[in-house]
Amino acid sequence: MFQPGPWHDRLVTSFAALHDLTGKVAVVTGGSRGIGRAIVQTLAEAGADVVIASRKLDACEAAAEQVRASTGRRAAAIACHVGRWGDCDRLIAETLARAGGLDVLVNNAGMSPLYPSLDAVSEDLFDKTLAVNLKGPFRLAALAATHMAGHDGGSIINIGTTASLTASVGELPYACAKAGLNALTVGLAEAFAPRVRVNAILPGPFRTDISRGWAPPEGAEVPFVPLGRMGDPAELAPLALHLASAASSYTTGAIIRVDGGVTRKV
């Protein structure tokens, strides 16, 4: 017979209350467009004050204004190139100074530059790809988790890719960097437990600005996806909210695919 444990009262709390982020501060890198923008909106609608970071300050400021107008939450814009160690340090320092705390970090910024062949991959392309997709998230997470562990705890969410499991020839440096992000997720989850939870979301094919060059037309069937279509960023954002909130209080070190059921090699 079921015996209520110490978490029983929390488990029977309403769904909305478990996902309430009122009083929390969330930083989202690459937050001005695509998946990052959808996550920013969802976290703000759940009550969080948000910091929107990307290389283009004007895009961050425009997104912040939209968030303030639509949710009434505080939204700050901070320019940050996550591939630069110093920019990562400044983002965390400015967040703490301007928002007064840090409870949620979403490492969403990424890049996957094209190349004609593997032997044509330059050292500069390789280094930039690893810097944005792995080095920056490492530095941001290490700083954020250290702060969170010394205060009220928190949640870190790394946005990876299902390419980290399939590693196709056309995006190999990107896939390698994101595979490292998977390992980073597991390692950070152990390093900062129990005060800080760290999880990863691996998107498959989503309609964003980045996929516009290769995506099938809107409404067209996508045969390689079992669900028959590409995802919309709004379909991923609720999972980020779940992982950011008390609703996922026993989830850490998880790597979760959101890809419409795409078959992959492991």
Lowest mean pLDDT among 10-14, 101-105, 108-112: 10-14
**Do the beta carbons of residue 124 and residue 131 sit within 8 Å?**
no
pLDDT digits (tens, 9 = 90+) for 169-222: 989 999 999 999 999 999 999 999 999 999 999 998 887 766 555 556 677 677
Asked whether residue 146 is domain-assigned, the answer is: yes
Asked whether residue 37 is domain-assigned, the answer is: yes
Asked whether residue 247 is domain-assigned, the answer is: no
Whether 32 and 111 share a structural domain: yes
Q: Which domain holds residue 225?
A: 206-234
Whether 181 and 211 share a structural domain: no
pLDDT digits (tens, 9 = 90+) for 111-143: 999 999 999 999 999 999 999 999 999 999 999
Whether 31 and 143 share a structural domain: yes
Asked whether residue 4 is domain-assigned, the answer is: no
CA 58 from centroid of its chain's CA atoms: 21
* CATH number of the domain that residue 132 is part of: 3.40.50.720
Q: Out of 140, 173, 174, 231, which one is annotated catalytic?
A: 174
Asked whether residue 215 is domain-assigned, the answer is: yes
Whether 179 and 157 share a structural domain: yes
115 catalytic residue (yes or no): no
Whether 199 and 215 share a structural domain: no
Q: Is 121 exposed, middle or buried (0-12, 13-18, 19+ CB in 10 A)?
A: middle
Q: How confident is the model at residue 226 (pLDDT cuts 50, 70, 90)?
A: confident
Q: How confident is the model at residue 168 (pLDDT cuts 50, 70, 90)?
A: confident
d(CA 29, CA 146): 18
* pLDDT for the residue numbered 197: 98
d(CA 125, CA 141): 23
Sign (positive or negative) of CA dihedral 236, 240, 246, 251: positive
DSSP 51: E
Task: Look up the pTM and report it.
Answer: 0.91
Count of CB atoms situated within 10 Å of the CB of 243: 24
Whether 39 and 84 share a structural domain: yes
Is the pLDDT confidence value at 266 over 50? no
Give the total number of structural domains in the chain: 2
Whether 130 and 99 share a structural domain: yes
Asked whether residue 253 is domain-assigned, the answer is: no
Asked whether residue 73 is domain-assigned, the answer is: yes
